[in-house]
C-alpha cells in the first residue's frame, strides 16, 4: 500500500515506523515524479510487511523537504528507526527500483 504523508503524520508514519520506510519526495508538476509514481504503486504490495512506501508532496510540505535537504525531485529517502539510511535522486525504471529496494533498503 502506498501512503500519502504530510507534516501532520510524518512523525507517526515515517519516523516512528517499525519497518523501513521509503519516502518519495515529489510534486504534481514534475514529469519524472509522474513516471516514478505508478512504479511505487505497482511494487508496494510486493513488499508489504517488510517496507512501507510513502509519498510526500514537497509543495504541501516544503518544511520537511528543506529539513531533509531535498534539492531535486523525485528524491527517495529511506528511513530506518527514524534515521535516514540512504537516498536516491531521480526516477528509475521498475527493474532498477526493485533492485535498489532489495539492495539498499532491505540489504
Could you list the active site residues?
30, 33
91 exposure class (CB count in 10 Å sphere: 0-12, 13-18, 19+): buried
Give the phi and the psi of residue 69 in degrees, each rounded to 5: 65, 35
Instruction: Compute the Cα dihedral for 9, 15, 21, 26 and give only its sign.
Output: positive
Amino acid at each position: 500500500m502506498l501512503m500519502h504523508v504530510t507534516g501532520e503524520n510524518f512523525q507517526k508514519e515515517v519516523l516512528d515506523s517499525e519497518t523501513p520506510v521509503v519516502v518519495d519526495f515529489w510534486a504534481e508538476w514534475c514529469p519524472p515524479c509522474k513516471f516514478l509514481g505508478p512504479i511505487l504503486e505497482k511494487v508496494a504490495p510486493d513488499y508489504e510487511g517488510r517496507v512501507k512506501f510513502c509519498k510526500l508532496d514537497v509543495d504541501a510540505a516544503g518544511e520537511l523537504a528543506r529539513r531533509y535537504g531535498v534539492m531535486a525531485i523525485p528524491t527517495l529517502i529511506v528511513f530506518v528507526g527514524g534515521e535516514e539510511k540512504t537516498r536516491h535522486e531521480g526516477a528509475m525504471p521498475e527493474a532498477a527500483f526493485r533492485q535498489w529496494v532489495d539492495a539498499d533498503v532491505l540489504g
